[in-house]
Amino acid sequence: MGELRSFFEEEDGVTVVEIVLILTVLVGLVVIFKSQLSAILSKVLGNVTKSANSL
C-alpha cells in the first residue's frame, strides 16, 4: 500500500501541460472523426436495441 501512496505523491509524473496537450489532441480527433464516430455509435446502439427487443 505504501508503494501506491508514494506513486501518487511522486512529482516526476505527468504535468498539467502534458494533460492539456493530450486532451487537446483527443478533442481534435473527436472533431475530425465526428461523423464516423456517430455512425459507429448509432450502429452499435441499433444492434443493442434489436437484441434487447428479441429477448
Per-residue confidence (pLDDT) for residue 1, from 0 to 100: 74
Show the 3-state SS of 1-55.
CHHHHHHHHCCCCCCHHHHHHHHHHHHHHHHHCHHHHHHHHHHHHHHHHHHHHCC
Q: Does pTM surpass 0.85?
A: no
Kindly list the domain boundaries of the chain, sorted by start residue.
15-39
Per-residue confidence (pLDDT) for residue 12, from 0 to 100: 65
pLDDT top residue among 51 and 14: 51
- Give the tens place of pLDDT for each residue, 2-49: 887 877 777 666 687 788 899 999 999 999 999 999 999 999 999 999
Per-residue confidence (pLDDT) for residue 13, from 0 to 100: 64
